[in-house]
Structure 1
Amino acid sequence: MQDTVTSAEFAKLLRDIWSDLQEPAVLWQIGTLLLCLGLGWLIQRAALRRGAAAAAAATHTVSAARRFGEHGVKRVIFPLSALLLVLMARGVLARYHNVSLLDLAVPLLSSLAAIRFVVFTLRQAIGRSSWLGAFERFFATLAWLVVALHIVGWLPEVIDSLESVSFTLGSQKLSLWTLLQGLAMVMLTLLLAMWVGGALERRLALAVGMDSNLRVVLARVLRAVLIVVAVLVALPMVGIDLTTLSVFGGALGVGLGFGLQKIAANYVSGFILLLDRSLRIGNLITVGTERGIVKEITTRYTVIRAANGVESIVPNETLVGSVVQNETFSDSQVALPLTFQVGYEADLERAMGILIEVALQQPRVLKDPVPKAFLASFGDNGINLRLGCWIADPEEGTLQITSDINMAVWRRFKAEGISIPFPQREVRLLGAVPEPVATAPVSSQPAQT
């Protein structure tokens, strides 16, 4: 009974609007409505600029609840401010003219504000990195259009028009309205599945004693299963038989299998990496010409950050199908070999002792295993010595520790009088040098006869 009364009220409202459109005085309503919408838009722009300036000048971290409230208010500033202005203008204009057009604007603006806030809340519940964030405005606009058609009473006519467009797929007859219903139901179930998946992922992130890679795998598998279940549940709810789509789905699957082999291989390789735990976040690895720390492992690629700050995106298939040097796989300790050269006249025992002393003075060099010095070889210009020491933090790089050791060794060698040779060439002439032979000068005068 209440729905009938509401429909009758909206029908009367539409008739009043049509009557107002026949009168010149309707221009007052149109101008007032446009002015309210324009002022609402200006208020929104001013609020957004002020919020951006405040965020740039903020020196402290904003809490999650406050950030949620600020972003939520930004979504509804325009409809709420326009709604408030319309209500004020309607109260004033109602004394002199009919305000049927403004009466219709009130529920439309109210529903727009409510829908924008609901979609924003769903996005925050699912996750900020969700695909819903990119289509938030689209979903809100689409939902508002449906509500607006229902408010003005045009939704039944639109549904009848969509149902008139039908086609046959296999043994089932489908209409455009049925497909739109199926799409809407799939979207709703997907939102529910993404929300449940996000909640489970947050719960897994708090699990103590569970490997991080295993948590990532479980979260992604659960989310994928929930998405598939959502689609399988949503389509039959609107009358779409899944068996009708089996042939089409099989053909599509074969086509995708041939066209997306590399992508599928990367996804399978990603799950293998996450499950066998051969790579972990923070490992220092070398694959091909890339060497760096593993920053992120996804189901398609792995991010490696080099020492110079450059991040390389390596497909997971490459990591599974090639040799990967993992310097921190089971033990983070790595050897740091350094080579030095001293002259043949140097005291070798003292020089090797200096190398060990310098290594032990470095805080990054491990005391166990103890650093050792070796006579590596006899070179052309001097004797080659090698210092072997170990460090436990290769992810911090080796350039700084190498430079520190080299500088300390150079200072100690200089203080101890141990020479560091450089390439020299000595040329010797064997035997007596032949004296130059005197020759008679050649006359340039012509011969006389």
Structure 2
Amino acid sequence: MQENLNQMAKDNAQSFIEWFKELMNYSLFNLGESNITLGLIITLSVSFIALFVITEWIRRFTVHKVLKRYQIDTGTKQSIGTMIKYFLILAGVFSILQTNGIDLSAFGILAGALGVGIGFGLQNITNNFISGLIILFEQPIKVGDRIEVGDVSGDVIKISARSTMIVTNDNISIIVPNSQFIDSQVINWSHNERKIRFNFPVGVSYKEDPQKVKAILMEVAKKNKGVLDTPEPDVLFEDYGDSSINFNLRVWTSEYINRPKILKSQLYYEIFRRFGEDGIEIPFPQRDLHLKSGFENMSK
């Protein structure tokens, strides 16, 4: 009795295995000389998922472990890691297809169909992808850069194949197509180094001593921790305005590249306080009204 049960179990297991093999070998369609089966589709799917997971791990390992040992800025590290990932994905895809016996010559037909698709509706996607490669190689922008493109201003936090992610000072993420960085004018505040100069206008009354005003502005700038000592700040006598003599306070900073209004506010608060202590008058716009003769007779 027990032997019969064991034999039945073996027969059922054998039947299941044969059924599973038939299912996996079930032909779905032909691609050139390659027979595409259900099992092959599953194998390719698992292989591609593993490829993307492994290449992403290699990218992170390269950026955070290998390149960390060298004096390379963060944006360049990210670009190198991304290019390595794309290269490994491309090599891995062809390797997986060849290993599984896929006839690669059949992809000539798919390439032709893809060309037609690009001609009809995929121009933007292709343009953005190629622009992404140009950005990674030429590096007009990098991760960590402070940029302005169009009406968007913020820090670059990610450059992908199709788009670039920018975070504004309000912590809003904006996705910008890569082609916009190639076709449009881009202002990169930190392309060479993270050190830039800001210009802050200051106006005082005509009765004030320009040398005293300059001394106060220089003192305020040098006391601010966000202002660099080298290059040192300076003050320009800008022009004679309608109601004031105007100065230009020029300061260098590396801390407030992405927060210029914060630095401006700090300096203006302190300048206003110092002007009040030293009796420096900040004028307001004044206009003189001249009435033509005969105006009173007209009003009567």
The alpha-carbon deviation at position 412 of structure 1 amounts to 1.5
Equivalent residue for 2:150, pick from 268, 272, 288 = 288
Tell me which amino acid in the other structure corresponds to 1:380: D
> Taking every aligned residue pair, what percent have the same amino acid on both sides?
23
> What is the SS of the residue equivalent to 1:394?
coil
Equivalent residue for 1:224, pick from 84, 90, 104 = 90
Whether contact under 8 Å (1:284, 1:292) holds in the other structure is yes
The alpha-carbon deviation at position 223 of structure 1 amounts to 2.3
Tell me which amino acid in the other structure corresponds to 1:222: L
The alpha-carbon deviation at position 283 of structure 1 amounts to 0.7
The alpha-carbon deviation at position 376 of structure 1 amounts to 1.3
> What is the SS of the residue equivalent to 2:199?
strand
Equivalent residue for 1:335, pick from 186, 194, 197 = 197
Equivalent residue for 1:255, pick from 106, 116, 128 = 116
| TM-superposition CA deviations, 1:165-208 (whole Å, max 9, x none) | 777776x595xxx5213212323433553455355335423213
Tell me which amino acid in the other structure corresponds to 2:171: G
Q: How has the CA–CA distance of structure 1 residues 330 and 7 changed in structure 2, closer, same or farther, with 3 Å as cutoff? A: farther
Whether contact under 8 Å (1:10, 1:153) holds in the other structure is no
Q: 1:387 maps to what in 2? A: 249
Tell me which amino acid in the other structure corresponds to 1:184: I
* Structure richer in strand, relative to its length: 2
Structure 1 runs not aligned, ≥5 long: 15-150, 436-449
Whether contact under 8 Å (2:162, 2:178) holds in the other structure is yes
Tell me which amino acid in the other structure corresponds to 1:10: A
Q: How has the CA–CA distance of structure 1 residues 378 and 300 changed in structure 2, closer, same or farther, with 3 Å as cutoff? A: same
Whether contact under 8 Å (1:204, 1:219) holds in the other structure is no
Q: How has the CA–CA distance of structure 1 residues 340 and 156 changed in structure 2, closer, same or farther, with 3 Å as cutoff? A: same
Q: 1:147 maps to what in 2? A: none
Tell me which amino acid in the other structure corresponds to 2:42: A
* Structure richer in helix, relative to its length: 1
Q: 1:193 maps to what in 2? A: 51
> What is the SS of the residue equivalent to 1:395?
coil
> What is the SS of the residue equivalent to 2:275?
helix
Whether contact under 8 Å (2:201, 2:247) holds in the other structure is yes
Tell me which amino acid in the other structure corresponds to 2:197: A
Q: How has the CA–CA distance of structure 1 residues 199 and 425 changed in structure 2, closer, same or farther, with 3 Å as cutoff? A: closer
Q: How has the CA–CA distance of structure 1 residues 273 and 431 changed in structure 2, closer, same or farther, with 3 Å as cutoff? A: closer
Whether contact under 8 Å (1:166, 1:173) holds in the other structure is no
Bigger CA radius of gyration? 1
Whether contact under 8 Å (1:375, 1:386) holds in the other structure is yes
The alpha-carbon deviation at position 433 of structure 1 amounts to 10
TM-score between both structures, scaled by the size of structure 1: 0.56
The alpha-carbon deviation at position 338 of structure 1 amounts to 1.1
Q: How does 1:48-67 map to 2 (within 5 A)?
A: none
Q: 1:273 maps to what in 2? A: 135
The alpha-carbon deviation at position 316 of structure 1 amounts to 1.0
Tell me which amino acid in the other structure corresponds to 1:341: G
Q: 1:10 maps to what in 2? A: 9
| TM-superposition CA deviations, 1:259-309 (whole Å, max 9, x none) | 322212212221221122222211111111111111111121111111111
The alpha-carbon deviation at position 335 of structure 1 amounts to 1.4
Q: How does 1:15-414 map to 2 (within 5 A)?
A: 151=13, 153-154=15-16, 156-157=18-19, 174=35, 178-194=36-52, 196-198=54-56, 200-205=58-63, 206-207=65-66, 208-209=69-70, 211-212=76-77, 213-234=79-100, 236=101, 241-243=103-105, 245-246=106-107, 248-258=109-119, 259-414=121-276
Distance in 1 (alpha carbons) for counterparts of 2:221 and 2:39: 73
| TM-superposition CA deviations, 1:297-343 (whole Å, max 9, x none) | 11211111111111111111111222211111112221111112111
Distance in 2 (alpha carbons) for counterparts of 1:168 and 1:422: 82
Distance in 2 (alpha carbons) for counterparts of 1:290 and 1:167: 48
Tell me which amino acid in the other structure corresponds to 1:204: T
> What is the SS of the residue equivalent to 1:307?
coil
Tell me which amino acid in the other structure corresponds to 2:170: N
RMSD: 3.2
Higher deviation after alignment, 249-258 or 335-344: 249-258
Q: How has the CA–CA distance of structure 1 residues 226 and 352 changed in structure 2, closer, same or farther, with 3 Å as cutoff? A: same
Q: How has the CA–CA distance of structure 1 residues 8 and 249 changed in structure 2, closer, same or farther, with 3 Å as cutoff? A: farther
Tell me which amino acid in the other structure corresponds to 1:391: T
Q: How has the CA–CA distance of structure 1 residues 7 and 299 changed in structure 2, closer, same or farther, with 3 Å as cutoff? A: farther
Whether contact under 8 Å (2:153, 2:168) holds in the other structure is yes
Distance in 2 (alpha carbons) for counterparts of 1:218 and 1:199: 11
Q: How has the CA–CA distance of structure 1 residues 185 and 356 changed in structure 2, closer, same or farther, with 3 Å as cutoff? A: same
Q: How has the CA–CA distance of structure 1 residues 162 and 350 changed in structure 2, closer, same or farther, with 3 Å as cutoff? A: closer
Q: How has the CA–CA distance of structure 1 residues 223 and 169 changed in structure 2, closer, same or farther, with 3 Å as cutoff? A: closer
